[in-house]
Amino acid sequence: MTSGRKRKFDEKTALQSAMEVFWAKGFIGASLADLTKSMNINKPSMYSTFGNKEALFIKATQHYIENNMQTHLDALYAPDISLKNRLKNYMMSIVSMQCSTEQPKGCYLALCQSEVAGGDLPAEAVKLLTDIGTTPQTLFAELFNTDEEAVTLGLHKNSAGNALSLYTALKGTAAMARSKVPSTDLEFVIDTILAGVFSRENQSNLAH
């Protein structure tokens, strides 16, 4: 008698599906039944391939970081485009993802980071989410400190505050996108926050 063959499946597709479940429901809200159904595998296959729920969540989070965060960076460093337009293109790229109908709305990281305070996430996941949570703000601050146009405009004088303003705006658009506010409306938010950062009054105040 021949032994039964294990069911084959594409690991990347399954991991993408798991990520979307965590994106929609968070770590706590995602049940094993939700995960295995979306991944189209059984529990033994999930455990043997990805580990337990905590290990799967960490892999799904890393998958999100590698496949969903990096795609926006090209807009931020595009040549021959003004800093303000580069920032808008970058932020609107993120907003478009937050509002997309191709995956759960909002931001995967923002949703999962909101669960950290509850103490129910595994320690390794908490560290991963905490570390990656500072990345956008650090990215903005570094840009304001090193970009030639930013320095010329004096935006480096309060790089931390300007970076926090932009990151806070993206956190807000993530929440509003989850509430089904369209990207066309959220574009006004991005334009408003950028107008404030690039305003002459803001730059003048920083000089004193």
Q: What are phi and psi of 122, to 5 degrees?
A: -65, 150
C-alpha distances out from residue 119 to 23, 37, 49, 126, Å: 18, 27, 26, 9
How large a percentage of the chain has pLDDT more than 90? 58
- The DSSP output letter for 105 is S
* Res. 200 pLDDT band, cuts 50 70 90: low
pTM here is 0.81
- Burial class of residue 21 in the structure, from the number of CB atoms within 10 Å of its CB (0-12 exposed, 13-18 middle, 19+ buried): buried
pLDDT tens-digit series, residues 187-197:
999 999 999 99
pLDDT tens-digit series, residues 154-168:
999 999 999 999 999
Residue 208 confidence (pLDDT): 46
C-alpha distances out from residue 101 to 24, 65, 94, 134, 145, Å: 12, 19, 14, 27, 36
Residue 119 scores a pLDDT above 80: no
Read off the pLDDT of each residue in 81-91 and give the average, rounded to a whole number: 96
Residue 201 scores a pLDDT above 70: no
Rg (CA), the chain: 20
Residue 103 confidence (pLDDT): 73
* Most confident region among 6-20, 115-129, 139-153, 187-201 by mean pLDDT: 139-153
Residue 204 confidence (pLDDT): 52
Q: What is the mean pLDDT of the chain?
A: 87
* Res. 6 pLDDT band, cuts 50 70 90: low
Q: For the chain, which residues make up each domain, given as ranges? A: 11-199
d(CA 203, CA 183): 29
CATH number of 11-199: 1.10.357.10
* Res. 129 pLDDT band, cuts 50 70 90: confident
- Burial class of residue 36 in the structure, from the number of CB atoms within 10 Å of its CB (0-12 exposed, 13-18 middle, 19+ buried): buried
* Res. 183 pLDDT band, cuts 50 70 90: very high
- Mapped onto helix, strand or coil, the DSSP state of residue 52 is coil
Residue 151 scores a pLDDT above 80: yes
